[in-house]
Amino acid sequence: MSQPPIFHAYTFGEQEREKLDRDGHFVLPGVLTPDAQENLTRSLSHIHELSRTPKEGREPNRFSAEYDSYLESLIAHPQMLELARKVLGDNIRYDHCVSLNRPGGNGGIGWHSHGYSDDDPNLGFVRIFFYVNGFEPDNGGLKAVPGSHLYRDAKIQGRTDEALREGWLAGKTHPETGEHLEIEALSAPPGTVALMWTHAAHAVSPRKEDSDTRWCVVYAYRNPGKPSGARWITPEFERKPIPGAEGLMSLY
Ligand SMILES: O=C(O)CCC(=O)C(=O)O
Ligand SMILES: [Fe+2]
């Protein structure tokens, strides 16, 4: 069964890969096809509704692919795997699919990072964010610190930009360029995909009260070899045969 494309043609060659490795993130503006945007909006609305009427033992946001067949189908979509392998090389595992929908008035999230194989940079962990209807920097916008991922510090924290500058960022430089680390507020037109190495410092600005919902889902892939604290897969889902996902779902 062949799946319709989710991405328009895009360039992710050596230069783009170098930028991802230097900055810790890389944005592909407007790369999602209209069809994918439409399907994702429908699926993410579905997950959002499920999460508003919680039933015991269910976490629709964190286990999104287990609650929606379209989201499930993207785990092993050929274009998804191609992109993940351009970043991580051939030997990859699926790690998680988490919905990050932010309605008007959502408070965003302060500065933090995530971990995987903190002591061995040969094992990568990348997150592929689908910002379906995009965002403005000051309205549910992703912020990042180029170069912060190279510290492989899974415990970066800062409640505000100021707190991060006075805290973790103070005196830190980019290990390769020597430049002072600085906060970058990203912007994303509709249909944007953003790649981010998991150790990158990141935060999200609040969503304005009168805004529509920011629709977003993230898929994570990694090189196997270490335990992953973010691997939200139920045992049933791990065993479920998903076309194209053979070998992707196991821990090691
Ligand atoms: O909502 C976002 O854009 C990112 C949220 C976040 O911190 C994460 O997914 O790790
Ligand atoms: Fe995060």
Ligand 1, atom 7, lies closest to the CA of: 203
User: From the CA of 11, how far away is ligand 1's center (Å)?
Assistant: 24
User: From the CA of 153, how far away is ligand 1's center (Å)?
Assistant: 17
> Is residue 165 included in any domain, yes or no?
yes
> Is residue 181 included in any domain, yes or no?
yes
Q: How confident is the model at residue 152 (pLDDT cuts 50, 70, 90)?
A: very high
> Is residue 183 included in any domain, yes or no?
yes
The parent domain of residue 83 ranges over: 14-239
Distance, CA of 81 to CA of 123 (rounded, Å): 17
**Is the CB of 216 within 6 Å of ligand 1?**
yes
> Is residue 153 included in any domain, yes or no?
yes
CATH number of the domain encompassing residue 61: 2.60.120.620
pLDDT in tens, 153-171: 999 999 999 999 999 999 9
Tell me what pLDDT residue 200 has: 99
- Of 133, 176, 107, 105, the C-alpha closest to 44 is 133
Of the listed ligands, the closest to the CA of 213 is 1
Distance, CA of 202 to CA of 148 (rounded, Å): 9
> Is residue 246 included in any domain, yes or no?
no
Confidence check: pLDDT of 210 > 80? yes
> Is residue 89 included in any domain, yes or no?
yes
Distance, CA of 70 to CA of 239 (rounded, Å): 18
DSSP per-residue letters across 75-104 = HT-HHHHHHHHHHH-S--EEEEEEE--B-T
- The whole model's pTM is what? 0.98
Query: How many independent structural domains does the chain possess?
Result: 1
- Of 116, 136, 118, the C-alpha closest to 186 is 136
> Is residue 162 included in any domain, yes or no?
yes
**Is the CB of 96 within 6 Å of ligand 1?**
no
pLDDT in tens, 37-96: 999 999 999 999 999 987 888 899 999 999 999 999 999 999 999 999 999 999 999 999
> Is residue 8 included in any domain, yes or no?
no
